[in-house]
Amino acid sequence: MIPPSTALNPSRSLDRLLAEIQFLQSAARFRELPAPEVPEIAFAGRSNAGKSTALNVLVNRRRLAFASKTPGRTRLINLFALTDPEGEVGRLVDLPGYGYAAVDATTQRLWKTELSKYLGERRNLAGLILVTDIRHALGPLDQQMLAWFAPRGLPIHVLLTKADKLNRQEQNRAMSKVAAFLDAHPSRSPQIQWSHSCFSGLKRTGKEQVLDVMAAWLGLSRPGLAQIPSDPHVSGPTI
């Protein structure tokens, strides 16, 4: 496994690499994925949670990943490459959502198998962004995902999205509930970074916290990020 980088490389800025991000490949199956040569950050979560939208907003593109009102829009494992003149340095991965009952049983089984293989076995996975709708943050399926994924010992950032749907007080309440849930989680280990933050794809707010986390996972620099945030989950919502 490629360990998540811990030393920042100031000559490689995440923001600069994001400005040049390119679609790399779609894979329907785990075995079709490109060689696991560079660290990958995966976006997972319930269908329709806002994964593809979050990815687009974070990279400042309107339609890099396909977002849609129709649940089940992302049907493949979509990989996007961060490349500097010397080659690829990392990837962002948009995954199909889980929990979408309207697709037929065979497709659901295929997604589940390939998704579990990706999250369970991909050896260059540097961290998981678990995208969850703030109005019902970390529902039963997300909790299952968290409990199942935690033993891999990789960092997790819970992104509470669609924050624009709630007022500030409701956002704070949702954030506190998630903080308490993560703090008390039986799989929580002080060595593994678990963090969370509030986000709105519609208002394009909450980007900085998650970009800081992503930069730390990839060992990249960001303006104003002197060192890896030791515990970003203590920071409050920015919207």
Ligand X SMILES: Nc1nc2c(ncn2[C@@H]2O[C@H](COP(=O)(O)OP(=O)(O)OP(=O)(O)O)[C@@H](O)[C@H]2O)c(=O)[nH]1
Please give the residue ranges that form the binding site for ligand X (CB under 6 A): 45, 47-53, 67-69, 71-74, 96-97, 161-162, 164-165, 200-202
**At closest approach, how far in Å is the CB of 101 from ligand X?**
12
By CB under 5 A, name the one of 5, 48, 52, 221 that touches Mg ion.
52
What amino acid is encoded at 206 in this protein?
G
Q: How many CB atoms lie within 10 A of CB 225?
A: 20
Return the one option of Mg ion, ligand X, none that residue 206 interacts with (CB less than 5 to 8 A, by type).
none
Decide whether 74 or 124 has the Cβ nearer to Mg ion: 74
**DSSP characters for 148-196?**
HHGGG---EEEEEE-GGGS-HHHHHHHHHHHHHHHHT-TT--TTS-EEE
Return the one option of Mg ion, ligand X, none that residue 48 interacts with (CB less than 5 to 8 A, by type).
ligand X
Decide whether 161 or 193 has the Cβ nearer to ligand X: 161
**At closest approach, how far in Å is the CB of 112 from ligand X?**
13
Cα distance between residue 25 and residue 230, in whole Å: 33
By CB under 5 A, name the one of 56, 74, 193, 200 that touches Mg ion.
74
Residue nearest to ligand X (CB): 97
- Supply the DSSP symbol for 131: E
**At closest approach, how far in Å is the CB of 185 from ligand X?**
23
**Closest Cα partner for 80 from 69, 66, 70, 68?**
66
Return the one option of Mg ion, ligand X, none that residue 200 interacts with (CB less than 5 to 8 A, by type).
ligand X
Determine which helix (DSSP H) or strand (DSSP E) holds 237, and give its type and residue range.
none
What's the burial of 75, exposed, middle or buried (CB within 10 Å: 0-12/13-18/19+)? middle
Decide whether 159 or 220 has the Cβ nearer to ligand X: 159
Decide whether 161 or 209 has the Cβ nearer to ligand X: 161
Decide whether 133 or 220 has the Cβ nearer to ligand X: 133
CB-based contact 17:9 (threshold 8 Å): no
Residue nearest to Mg ion (CB): 74
Cα distance between residue 80 and residue 147, in whole Å: 27
Which residues bind to Mg ion, rule: CB under 5 A? 51-52, 73-74
